[in-house]
Structure 1
Amino acid sequence: MMKNHNKSLLALVLLGMLGLSACGSDGKDGANGAPGTPGAPGTPGTDGQNGTDAGSVVSTVYKAGDVTISIDPAGSTIAGNGVFALKFTATAKNQAGQVKPLTGISEIRLMSATAVTNATHDGPAVYWQNNGVAAGNGTSMYCTLTGTRGSSNACTITEDPATPGSYTGTWAHDGAAPIMNATDDLNAPHRIGVRITNLTDADGNKLPDYVWSNMTYVPATGEVGVASGKDTVANQACMNCHGENPATGGIAAPIGHRNQNVENCVLCHTPALQPNADDAAKGYVFDLPAMIHRIHGGEHLAKLSTYGFKQTAEWAEIPYPAPLDQCTVCHSTEEGKTSWETPNRAACSGCHSNIDWATGEGHSEFNLAQADDSQCAACHSTGALAPINAHKVGKRAEVAGLLTVDFTSATKAASTTPGNQDVTIKANVTFNGAPLADVTTLNVLNKVSTLIGNVNNKGEVTRWGTRPNLNAGTAAAGVLTLTATVTDAQATGTIYVGTEANFCVSSDEKIVACTESDLMYNSDDPVGATSTVKFFDLDGNTAVAARFADPVRITVSEAKCNACHTSLDYIKGNRHGVYKFDQCMDCHNNNYAGSYHPDTQILTLGKNAEGNIEVQSAAAGSATFHNRDLVTVAHRFHSGNMNSNTTEVAGVFLDNTGELHGYPAPSSDCSVCHKDGAKLFAEDGGLTSGKRSIAVTGGYISPVAESCRSCHTSGAALAHFKSNGATTDDAPDSTADLPIESCSTCHAQGKSYGIDKFHIMK
């Protein structure tokens, strides 16, 4: 039986429902009632851990670079023989990008090193000493909530409940904390490294990158940010080739241990970290200067094994993309950071691994034995044998000016051959610093070619099939005159004129024939001539610059190429003598299919009986190519899709597991080459360059899809390109007037599936 008050409630509910479904007879709303009395504030939500307001702290992290760790030197005793004490704060960004205290840290790892002024004749003037190792302990110590880690003692980490994100560490065990070195010099620069080891994201996944922070300071004074005297290589120098990890802001692939920061690496890789006899015999070294030299010596040192050079099997496949002797590719030239110019045996042995210092074998033709480093400066501090001079640092750029070719004009006149024109080109030329007086002087050049072709109103170029060599004209008083006989169609509108010349240089810095002896640069690495591509209009109109010479239409930076390669002349100089994109354009343009590298080999690797990695078999890749456009060629080469007829582990290539070898950065890091902030797509969905087709054998294809296909070579990718309107290599069109495929609809930067979502772009 229903009680009366329940019947009343039911009646009210039914009445309310009827009232909602029928507005009444007059259709008017009633007057608003007076505002009610505000209710009492609700109880603030908490983070479920220490009672702080939800949202005022964070306990999970989305990427390692969002974390900041700040050690308080005044509240810490982490050096010398005092009572260990650690005080630090930690913050991190939340999903909205706001910086909040980072709460809930339960484990950290601490490392300590001192920049020691060397009082001996063995080693560099200043070196890093790991204080844990110096104290007879390991390289580091841990701090945990319990003061133990497994069966080992640890410091006890405590978070201040009144100040979330503020932590202290104490040592409650017998003896000194492992990184406390009683003989430490507290007036010397110290570096403290802190790594949080247990952070997860909001889904409970452990972060794939280490969360590192370091501080350089003087314990005796508490001064922070001091110069160590040992930081001769900046992180940016490494990132020029290896790329930047967007999650950490540190060095990307393939840095070991995910430390991603030179300042962190030196905490372990000190002179005290020496290989055992077996590892040393294999060619391993672990002190950072020597190790980095040996690693970057890579395949170069491996190929010199018959001359006694040592290289490990692990590092023997590494191709270095710059001249190995150009120290400043990595080392700083800033005042106070040039201690690398003072040699010592350990660092030099990284590359000069054929030297036996005890016997002197390999140390010059005199086999000079060296018991210590006391005599290094006698020969190698100044003069020709100083590292910066012996390695010819920057010398290539200096001697490039021994041959200058400055094109000044191009005019045309009717030829004696019907349908042709004679195009006369003039240039001011200097040879070994003097105006060119006799054209036959140029016969000693290693390569004497010129680059000449047409430029249409879109800035696209078409090379001439035949061009006069530099030594094919006449010269007087420094003026070189060349003549080219071309068709009437070619002798119309704008042409470009440049050089593809290179030369050998003697030890006394003169251009000489490559057959001479005692050469500074020989035919294996000739120097490209200094010459800027010029544009002239043969009809007297304003010349049109090629898009390769227009910074607005170039999304790749030559400076970024040179930061890794030192100069494009080094990479292509031995064959071409070119060092600028507007020289490369003569062959690598969208109107000239020319020669190309159609096939790609996928290598299966294994180890031989000696433990060295070798190619066991090679199979054809999943795609072929029929163009040499610069974008496609550059993408293909750096992604390992251009290695044909490969029989050894060298260069840039893909293996059968899909791993990319020989390329130092993540293959998805576009910012290693592309300009910061570059927009790859134009407003119409085509490329920023304005290129709208690429010539291939048999016709023309779409440039956007072909740019992507140079890395994305699967059959599924090809089908995807076609479904978005691309004209592809397997079915080229007979016309260059192609529609723009719809790739940018989804993949332009900023779109839901934009390339910036799946590639690293700045």
Structure 2
Amino acid sequence: MMNAHKTKIALLLAAGALGLSACGGSDGSDGNPGNPGGEPAGAIKELHFSFDNTRINDGVTAVEFSVTNEEDKPVVGLQKMRFYAEQLLPEGASGAGNSSQWEYLLDETCDLPAQKCPGTFVDHKNGRYSYTFKANLAESTRATYKAELAQRLVIRNYNTPLPDGTAVPGTTALIDFMGDSGADAYYTRKIVATESCNACHGDVQEAGHMTGDVNFCASCHTPGRVSDGKEFNVFIHDIHFELDAADNKIKPAFGVAALENCQSCHVEKEAAPDWANWSRIPTAQSCGSCHTNIDFAAGKGHSQQVDNSNCVACHNSDWTAELHSAQGMAAKALVAKLGMNGALKGNDDNTATLSLAITDAAGTAVDATSLISKIQRIETITNVGPNFPIMGYNPSPGNGQKKVTKDLVKAGALQSGVTVVDGKLVFTTPVLPFGSGDANTAFTFIGLEMCVSGSEFVDCATGVATQTMKAELVHAAKAGETANFRHIDSVNFASCQGCHGETFDIHKGYHAGFIMSDQLGRDVNGKLTVGVDACVACHTPDGTYAGGANKGAFEMKLHVVHGKEAVINNCSQCHNDFNLDAFKAKGALATSAGKYTTPITATCTSCHAPESIGHGLTNMGAIVDGDYVEANQAAQQETCLFCHKPTVADHKVVKM
């Protein structure tokens, strides 16, 4: 951290060299813009803006604001800002039935290092700043300025360092006010709170736009400023949902239930006073962004609607809300009706026998025979070695064996090799590669998919809808031994449900689907704990599909998938803890096609590029993209944890 006193002097001199002057205040009296606000911030991780006065005089916008860091110390010497002026058309102003709409007026950028600043920018050198636009809002070529409308002033601070080199983060801040008085805006368009985005995405920060505020996104992605389809109420739905052509229902994007229903984002919060607009003001633009098979203007898939004036006549708020929440509610009701209770037993010939009971809502076993015609699929996946599975997604390089997959029931019919004994489905696996240690344990992951119509289970037939039910996981030791279990104290499963919902069905379509629930839970220190340990039945050390080309081992897969979707912000979003001892039971993981890496390094490089780590990995005992046998033999020779002691709060902790 730099010396704060020297920093202040440097900033004063730098500001003077740029020809900027404070507006009076030389006597340092209280409340005067020249009054020093105490020692300025010496290090800046966060910028916090507060607006002191925003006004529009004869079409010219002026703003006074203060900036502090995370320690509430004044930030002096900010170098580059863009100022945006926007206005809000009230609902109905642009046409009957139309929602409120942001109109982009103009913007000006003040770049001090480049000595370019169209308006009047003053750094008062105490954390307070002021800016007056050069342009009159009446000069806007995008919209006609109307003083009586609610206005928005956005400040975008670039991550340009201070004159003395101190780094500052890029960020945005905004204020809504009435243009003709400067008073707080008495109507708004704040439909989704940034907090709702952060529930899944952590502390959202869009690097290109330097913003973590969804309201900034919404007021810039406006008609006339962005291309068709990029308006905020269109593209934000588009990236989270897609239409399932098979059953004409909205399904979440990314292959899993990224969002369970509209209320995942549209939540009643103080920061989102207009949260109910999604159901209260139906428009072709917003509705069509999810229901992409409808052409309202042409009358395709819906009665012809040339504008939004008649939408609310049929789509009243209560009906719309009920309809869009019904799918999620119906799924929860169906899922609650049935469960599974399995048992796995290791046999003397190294096979394992699975006995699976279907249970009712009370947990009482029912005769499977009575349900078979209504079961679309019961899928089982069996592997060996829960902490380091030894059977691959495809035949593993180590022993040439592939995980055992078996459908017990499919399309309403009992499959060959499966019997019903005392109302339970029974199946015996082929010989499994049982071994010593962790490999003395087999485990079976089970998915159940039912045929449904409305709220009832029905006989399966072509075109009948299906519902994934709660998954089951069972373990069995090699005959005469005690079973091992994979650790489940690392990932906080509640955080998975927090984003994906309680009934998200993983991999439905290719698989029967798996709803992770308390049915998978087991006692950990006297507490029922749900884990994601079942997923390693497929996401083995050898990866999925093309070997490790997609980093399919479970230790890496979730990092890769969530990283691609820009979800990961910090480890605590998903992790309760780091069970570092778990690496003692692991071998090499596939990190590229046919290449393997020692486990600690492989896990770290699922987020970090090897060259970014800062030291030679092979010097620490790691094998990176090496031969399977070589990397597996070296798995316990990595010395990473001699120095690195990552925690959930700070995974970069180094033990000195």
Q: 1:546 aligned to 2:485? A: yes
CA contact (8 A) 2:97 2:312 kept: no
Q: 2:533 aligns with which of 577, 582, 590?
A: 582
In 2, the alpha carbon distance for the partners of 1:695 and 1:177 equals 61
Call closer, same or farther: CA 1:171–1:214 in 2, change over 3 Å.
Answer: closer
Q: Helix, strand or coil: the match of 1:99?
A: coil
Q: State whether residues 599 and 635 of structure 2, in contact with CA within 8 Å, keep that contact through their aligned partners in structure 1.
A: no
**2:89 and 2:102 in contact (8 A); partners too:** yes
Q: Which residue of 2 aligns with 1:290?
A: 234
Question: In the TM superposition, what is the alpha-carbon distance from 1:323 to its structure 2 partner?
Answer: 5.3
Return the alpha-carbon distance in structure 2 between the equivalents of residues 206 and 636 of structure 1.
29
CA contact (8 A) 1:195 1:213 kept: yes
Task: Give me the whole-angstrom Cα distance separating, in 2, the residues matched to 1:292 and 1:469.
Answer: 41
Is 1:401 the counterpart of 2:336? The answer is yes
Consecutive unaligned residues of structure 2, counting only runs of 5 or more, are: 17-25, 27-33, 392-402, 517-531
Percent of residue pairs bearing the same amino acid type = 18
2:601 pairs with 693, 701, 705, which one? 705
Distance 1:595 1:174 in 2: 59
Change (3 A) 1:227 1:744: farther
Q: Residues 354 and 139 (structure 1 numbering): CA distance in 2 closer, same or farther, change over 3 Å?
A: farther
Structure 1: which amino acid aligns with 2:128? S
Shift of 1:399: 3.2
- Spell out the pairing of 1:95-110 with structure 2 (5 A cutoff): 99-103=73-77, 108-110=82-84
Match of 1:610 in 2: none
Q: CA deviation at 1:344?
A: 0.7
Answer yes or no: is the 8 Å Cα contact 1:562–1:568 preserved in 2: no
Gap runs ≥5 in structure 1: 1-41, 308-317, 522-526, 602-624, 640-662
Letter in 1 for 2:234: A
User: How many residue pairs are counted as aligned between the two chains?
Assistant: 578
1:344 matched to 2:266: no
The one-letter code sitting in structure 1 at the alignment partner of 2:276 is T
Asked if structure 2 preserves the Cα contact closer than 8 Å seen for 1:71 and 1:89, the reply is yes
Q: CA RMSD in A?
A: 5.6
Deviation at 1:213, TM superposition (A): 1.0
Asked whether the 8 Å contact 1:701–1:732 carries over to 2, the reply is no
Is this contact kept in 2: 1:92–1:102, CA < 8 A? no
CA deviation after TM superposition for structure 1 residue 723, in Å: 3.4
- Check 1:570–1:121 CA distance in 2 against 1; reply closer, same or farther (3 A cut): farther
Letter in 1 for 2:64: K
- Aligned residue in 1 for 2:69: 92
**Offset at residue 58 of structure 1 (A):** 4.3
- Could you tell me which amino acid in structure 2 is paired with residue 338 of structure 1? A
Identify which of 743, 754, 757 aligns with 2:640.
Answer: 743
Q: Distance in 2 between matches of 1:598 and 1:169?
A: 57
Report what 1:311 is aligned to: none
Q: Which of 456, 469, 481 is residue 510 of structure 1 equivalent to?
A: 456
Correspondences of 1:198-213 after superposition (within 5 Å): 199-201=160-162, 204=165, 210-213=170-173
Alpha-carbon distance, 1:70 to partner: 1.0
Letter in 1 for 2:555: V
Q: Structure 1 residues 749 and 201, CA, compared in 2 at 3 Å: closer, same or farther?
A: farther
> Take 2:133 and 2:235, find their aligned partners in 1: how far apart are those partners?
35
The one-letter amino acid of 1:111's match is A
Once the two structures are superposed, what CA deviation does each residue of 1:501-560 show, in whole Å capped at 9, x if it has no partner? 323433x2333455333x444xxxxx432144355789999x766225x2x2x2475634
* Aligned mate of 2:505, from 553, 559, 569: 569
Per the alignment, residue 725 of structure 1 pairs with 621
Alpha-carbon separation, structure 1, partners of 2:576 and 2:180: 45
Residue 114 in 1 paired to residue 88 in 2?
yes
State whether residues 698 and 734 of structure 1, in contact with CA within 8 Å, keep that contact through their aligned partners in structure 2: no
Contact 1:699 1:732 in 2 (8 A): no
- State the Cα distance separating 1:727 from its structure 2 match: 5.0
Q: Residue 103 of structure 1: CA displacement?
A: 4.0
Do structure 1's residue 598 and structure 2's residue 547 form an aligned pair?
yes
Of residues 548, 553, 571 in structure 2, which corresponds to 1:629?
A: 553
Deviation of 1:345 (Å): 1.1
Q: Give the conservation status (yes or no) of the 8 Å contact 1:321–1:564.
A: no
Report the Cα offset of residue 110 of structure 1: 3.8
Aligned CA distance change for structure 1 residues 232 and 400 (closer, same or farther; 3 Å): farther
Query: How far is 1:392 from its partner?
Result: 3.0
CA apart distance, 1:61: 7.1
Calculate the TM-score normalised by the size of structure 1. Answer: 0.60
Q: Call closer, same or farther: CA 1:709–1:324 in 2, change over 3 Å.
A: closer
Is 1:454–1:461's contact at 8 Å kept on the other side of the alignment? yes
CA shift at 1:400, angstroms? 3.0
Shift of residue 108, structure 1, vs aligned partner: 4.9
Taking a change above 3 Å as real, the CA distance of residues 109 and 292 of structure 1, as seen in their structure-2 partners, is: same
Deviation string for 1:229-260 (max 9, x for gaps)? 6333333444566x45xxxx54336xx63444
Any idea what SS the aligned residue of 2:602 has?
helix
Equivalent position to 1:369, from 298, 304, 316:
304
2:395 counterpart residue number: none
- In 1, Cα distance between equivalents of 2:594 and 2:107: 64
For residue 756 of structure 1, give the secondary structure of its aligned residue in structure 2: coil
**Which residue of structure 1 lines up, in the alignment, with residue 205 of structure 2?**
251
Shift of 1:264: 0.9
For the residue of structure 1 that corresponds to 2:537, the secondary structure is coil
- The 1-side partners of 2:131 and 2:622 are apart by 61
Matches within 5 A, 1:419-498: 419=349, 425=355, 427-430=357-360, 436-439=366-369, 441-451=371-381, 465=404, 469=408, 472-474=418-420, 480=424, 482=426, 484=428, 496=443, 498=445
The 8 Å contact of residues 447 and 503 in structure 1, kept in 2 or not, is answered as yes
User: Per the alignment, do residues 296 and 596 of structure 1 end up closer, same or farther by CA in structure 2, a change over 3 Å counting?
Assistant: closer
CA separation in 1, counterparts of 2:405 and 2:298?
58
**Residue 672 (structure 1) shift:** 7.1
Partner of 2:49: 69
Task: Write the mapping of 1:239-278 to structure 2, written as runs, cut at 5 A.
Answer: 239=198, 243=201, 249-252=203-206, 257-270=209-222, 272-273=223-224
Q: Which residue of 1 aligns with 2:155?
A: 194
Find the aligned partners of 1:422 and 1:56 in 2 and give their Cα distance: 73
Post-superposition offset of 1:289? 0.3
Aligned-pair CA distance for 1:630:
1.5
Q: TM (normalized to structure 2)?
A: 0.68
Alpha-carbon separation, structure 2, partners of 1:571 and 1:691: 28
| Larger-Rg structure | 1
CA contact (8 A) 2:154 2:174 kept: yes
Contact kept? 1:455, 1:461, Cα under 8 Å: yes
Q: Are the aligned partners of 1:379 and 1:386 in contact in 2 as well (CA < 8 Å)?
A: no
1:631 positional shift: 1.5
Matches within 5 A, 1:15-26: none
Of the three residues 124, 128, 140, the one matched with 1:166 is 128
Aligned AA (1:664): E
C-alpha contact (below 8 Å) 2:383/2:443 kept by paired residues:
yes
For the residue of structure 1 that corresponds to 2:129, the secondary structure is strand
Name the aligned partner's letter for residue 400 of structure 1.
V
SS at match of 2:570: helix
**Are residue 230 (structure 1) and residue 189 (structure 2) matched?**
yes
Q: Is 1:500 the equivalent of 2:441?
A: no
Q: Contact (CA 8 Å) 2:559, 2:607: kept in 1 or not?
A: yes
Q: Which amino acid aligns with 1:232?
A: I
How far did 1:369 drift?
1.6
Report if aligned partners of 1:421, 1:491 keep a CA contact under 8 Å in 2.
no
Q: What is the CA deviation profile of residues 629-683 of structure 1, one whole-angstrom value per residue up to 9, with x for unaligned ones?
A: 32144456667xxxxxxxxxxxxxxxxxxxxxxx3318xx563796357447x3x
8 Å CA contact retained: 1:451, 1:499: yes
Q: Residue 546 of structure 2 aligns to a residue in which SS?
A: coil
Q: Distance in 1 between matches of 2:54 and 2:543?
A: 67
The answer for the alignment partner of 2:495 in structure 1 is 559
CA distance in 2, matches of 1:489, 1:144: 67
CA distance in 2, matches of 1:285, 1:468: 43
Deviation at 1:265, TM superposition (A): 1.8
Q: By how many angstroms is 1:71 displaced?
A: 0.6
Match of 2:9 among 22, 28, 46: 46
CA shift digits 1:9-33 (9 cap, x unpaired): xxxxxxxxxxxxxxxxxxxxxxxxx
User: What's 1:332 paired with?
Assistant: 266
